[in-house]
Amino acid sequence: MKVEENVKMVASEVPILFSLAAEKFIEEFTLRAWMHTEESKRKILQATDIAKAAKTTSMYDFLMYILPDEEAGLVRRSKNENNAIDTSEESEED
């Protein structure tokens, strides 16, 4: 659990608090992704729902750097259904 050598000890409560924080993060993020699943009238959560949740909620902006480009591209395409967009060109311009 220790990343830095300067840290000598970690209190016994810290792993428990990290566990609870991770659980709440996953719960909230999954709920937001599930909302996109229901909007699409599906019953199975897909990677695109997760990407949409990250893209539409500013507090998850940091995830855009670790989500696969494929999922991000699918989000862009579904947002612009009426326009045919080559997402590879769009990502190069950003």
CA distance 29 to 13: 24
User: Model confidence over 4-57: pLDDT tens digits?
Assistant: 778 788 898 999 999 999 999 999 999 999 999 999 999 999 988 998 899 888
Whether the model clears a pTM of 0.75, i.e. scores above it, the answer is no
Q: What are the helix (H) ranges across 40-64?
A: 47-56
pLDDT higher than 70, residue 77: no
Count of residues in the chain: 94
What residue ranges define each of the domains in the chain, with the CATH number in brackets? 13-93 (1.10.20.10)
Structure tokens at 1: 């659990």
